[in-house]
């Protein structure tokens, strides 16, 4: 089905800079031909020798064959990368031995065409679950042609190639200064539905010319993931294919970061965290059928972990999400969602704000409650909801979107 662009879609794709040491190409393998769509659906990235990498992946127990390969390759390859191939249209999840054969054929094509070790090659796939490809080499057969087309990345083309129900291509850039040298971080992401992270979420790739050891890159990525990709939800469903990876070519003139006490890591960490948050929020703003972007902030919890659970339960509640879709300031549903979390909530201290409008406090409706003012906040395209659940120091923030009938329309027709 043809999807209308999200109301949050930017007017144009951002101008993303080249990252030295990175090349790319895209092609169409016909994954969407049956839907009468002519579009690229595969991309190849290659990296200069010495590129380090790190990744976090879905914790789903039905993870795709591609996710399982990437986990293995990160260990066997020592955190080094030379190539990445990603396709949309088929997730290669729950495809049994045929899914493994698909990966083997793709990896063999990569190693032959690029003359690089298999354990330095990474894969990902996104799309329909449980449908084996007709030929194990269906994706691999496209690799030689893409190798011939390798050039500086066309970021927008790559970002479009792995879209599924996304309504716009997602990209972001951050720079920072290390040793007087400008370090570039460029990222692309895809995701719109089946978004409820449990490590990272959907597919996202970040490329940088920073020089950093694999273990430090892994540590930095995991730190960046928690307040970004692990703090978003569209529909509470965790994908079988969720992948977030970062590739560091070391092509800048800044000295390699190899020590966890290196003060330069703080600068790099901030830039990496910023770009992860940017990409993650773009995913939520493109949530399937979404008309509103919602931030849920919880404070006063017994711990940050407790606050996170409460915030996620509020963000994932269909009753909360549908009320907000209808501009309904039904704060009672916030109370319900906080309570169902099972986390400690002090009723006497419980307070709720829609924007700056306090709607509940001290275990009941606020004496200053103004239905019109609260409803006006809920009619905005971006809504901030704050909840105080006690007198503790725990706090967390989760980002979500509303739930409209368009979500049903999109997912009811997903395979057609």
**Whether domain 22-285 has CATH 3.60.70.12:** yes
Please give the CATH superfamily to which domain 293-412 belongs: ArgJ beta chain, C-terminal domain (3.10.20.340)
208 included as an active-site residue: no
Closest CA relative to residue 128, chosen from 160, 153, 94, 151 = 94
pLDDT digits (tens, 9 = 90+) for 135-171: 999 999 999 999 999 999 999 999 999 999 899 999 9
pLDDT of amino acid 3: 75
Lowest mean pLDDT, pick from 10-24, 173-187, 232-246, 290-304: 232-246
| Cβ-contact 387, 343 below 8 angstroms | no
pLDDT digits (tens, 9 = 90+) for 355-376: 999 999 998 999 999 999 999 9
pLDDT above 70 for 201:
no
pLDDT for res 414: 65
Give the pLDDT mean for 100-114: 98
Mean pLDDT of 67-88: 98
CA pair distance 100, 97, nearest whole angstrom: 5
So what's the pLDDT on residue 194?
A: 75
In which residue ranges of the chain is CATH 3.60.70.12 found? 22-285
Whether 289 shows a pLDDT value over 90: the answer reads: no
Kindly name the residue from 95, 167, 201, 238 that is annotated as catalytic.
Answer: 201
User: What are the backbone angles phi and psi of residue 257, rounded to the nearest 5°?
Assistant: -95, 115
Task: Kindly report, as residue ranges, where domains of CATH 3.10.20.340 are found in the chain.
Answer: 293-412
- Residues 66-86 have a mean pLDDT of 98
Q: How far is 237 from 40, CA to CA, in rounded Å?
A: 27
CA distance 323 to 7: 19
User: Tell me: the pLDDT tens digits for 20-47?
Assistant: 999 999 999 998 877 777 899 999 999 9
């Amino acid at each position: 089905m043809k999807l209308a662009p999200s109301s949050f879609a930017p007017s144009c794709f951002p101008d993303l800079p080249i990252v030295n040491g990175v090349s790319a190409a895209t092609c169409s393998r016909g994954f969407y031909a049956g839907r009468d769509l002519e579009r690229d659906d595969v991309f190849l990235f290659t990296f200069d020798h010495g590129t380090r990498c790190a990744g976090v992946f879905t914790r789903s127990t039905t993870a795709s064959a591609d996710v399982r390969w990437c986990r293995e390759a990160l260990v066997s390859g020592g955190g080094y990368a030379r190539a990445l191939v990603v396709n949309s249209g088929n997730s290669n999840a729950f495809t049994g031995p045929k899914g493994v054969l698909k990966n083997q054929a793709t990896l063999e094509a990569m190693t032959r065409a690029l003359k690089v070790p298999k354990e330095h090659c990474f894969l990902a796939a996104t799309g329909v679950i449980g449908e084996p490809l007709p030929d194990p080499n269906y994706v691999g057969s496209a690799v030689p042609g893409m190798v011939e087309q390798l050039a500086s990345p066309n970021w927008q083309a790559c970002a479009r190639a792995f879209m599924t129900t996304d309504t716009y291509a997602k990209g972001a850039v951050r720079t920072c200064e290390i040793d007087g040298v400008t370090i570039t971080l460029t990222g692309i992401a895809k995701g719109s539905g089946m978004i409820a992270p449990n490590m990272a979420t959907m597919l996202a790739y970040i490329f940088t010319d920073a020089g950093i050891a694999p273990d430090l890159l892994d540590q930095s990525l995991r730190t960046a993931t928690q307040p970004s990709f692990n703090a978003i939800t569209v529909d509470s469903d965790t994908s079988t294919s969720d992948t977030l990876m970062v590739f560091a070519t070391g092509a800048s003139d800044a000295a390699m970061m190899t020590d966890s006490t290196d003060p330069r890591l703080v600068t790099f960490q901030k830039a990496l965290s910023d770009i992860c948050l940017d990409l993650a929020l773009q995913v939520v703003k493109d949530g399937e059928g979404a008309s509103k972007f919602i931030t849920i902030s919880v404070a006063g919890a017994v711990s940050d972990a407790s606050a996170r659970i409460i915030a996620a339960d509020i963000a994932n509640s269909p009753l909360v999400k549908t009320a907000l879709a209808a501009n309904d300031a039904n704060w009672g549903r916030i109370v319900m969602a906080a309570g169902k979390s099972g986390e400690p909530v002090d009723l006497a201290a419980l307070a709720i704000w829609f924007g700056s409008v306090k709607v509940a406090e001290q275990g009941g409706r606020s004496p200053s409650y103004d239905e019109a003012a609260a409803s006006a906040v809920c009619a905005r395209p971006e809504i901030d909801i704050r909840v105080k659940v006690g007198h503790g120091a725990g706090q967390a923030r989760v980002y979500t979107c509303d739930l409209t009938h368009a979500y049903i329309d999109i997912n009811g027709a997903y395979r057609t």
